[in-house]
Structure 1
């Protein structure tokens, strides 16, 4: 491939996944108006998986415009609970409210990855894990919030399944890497073919 691909993300978790897999890559944070893209997608009747793909594509395009000839990896994740889409919580009170909304319910985490070069989508993939939180008590919630702190504000779900918040879950179905924010195995397959 010549130059290594560029990951269009500031997510430490996504960077760590590629690093752990031994993938050489550069990383640049993509600045896109996610709220505006979500509104346009919603108005256009797109579902959460299609919206996650649009967001991933927008991130890849934003970085790709600055680096002609380079493959850019864009990724994004949505949280859909019964048709309600969630964003990263603004503060700990919002995180607690979000977790209360998800309590005892199943939600989906459509997670998209796009590879882009010179204005063209070379490849795209979306996974939709399903996660169910048990009907946890307020004491359990308080314990997880205290243990996790501000780290929860970096997650669209206001939880980290790789941390103490796992105690709030009843069931998880789907690809572990996708739950963490990047469908890694399909991406590695695409990169090998390149």
Structure 2
């Protein structure tokens, strides 16, 4: 159904780029929802709930179409790391991740406007980060790159030098598990065309 409306409920340029790579046409409507959560909540449940809140809020404003919401969190030793609130918070997060493995979870949610189907899913990737010196952390934080990213780093940018190993979906760490998203879009009746250009 090529004429069916697809909406991405995220302002992330990385998610927009990844979804566009599927050859899909879509609109972007950013949802302004409460992303707060109670301490001790299960990370897998949380990230799906946040993705669902985003998709549902946008779907409620539309008469038709399929809305995709997504949310990414980093979990280290059971502690959920979202986006840093300031540079000191970013340094704290990176110091915690330095020299250890952690999990990156991206929750996705599809909501059909007008009371249609709703689907939630989650993808997890294990990421190993090198030991980082305080000086290196300070330089990276000063670049500004960590400030809008869960866990205070973006694997697709300069921080790629920090990551010697991952187990799972790389694109999930960037912010959208593309293969999983494509599977769901096909089930909703969309025709997914892989982009012919290499990445």
Sort the Cα spacing of 1:121 and 1:95 in 2 relative to 1 into closer, same or farther, 3 A: farther
The answer to whether 1:67 aligns with 2:62 is yes
Report how far residue 129 of structure 1 moved: 0.5
The answer to whether 1:172 aligns with 2:166 is yes
CA RMSD of aligned residues (A): 1.7
Q: What's the counterpart of residue 77 of structure 2?
A: 82
Could you say which structure has the higher helix fraction?
Answer: 1
TM-score by length of 1: 0.88
| Alpha-carbon contact 1:77-1:111 (below 8 Å) kept | yes
The answer to whether 1:155 aligns with 2:156 is no
The answer to whether 1:106 aligns with 2:101 is yes
| Structure with greater contact order relative to length (CA < 8 Å, sep ≥ 6) | 2
Whole-angstrom CA distance in 1 between matches of 2:50 and 2:115: 15
| Alpha-carbon contact 1:114-1:121 (below 8 Å) kept | no
| Alpha-carbon contact 2:14-2:174 (below 8 Å) kept | yes
Report how far residue 4 of structure 1 moved: 2.3
TM-score by length of 2: 0.86
Count of residues in Structure 1 that have an aligned counterpart in Structure 2: 186
Q: Specify which of 178, 186, 191 is matched with residue 192 of structure 1.
A: 186
Whole-angstrom CA distance in 2 between matches of 1:166 and 1:191: 29
Gaps of 5+ in 2: 190-199
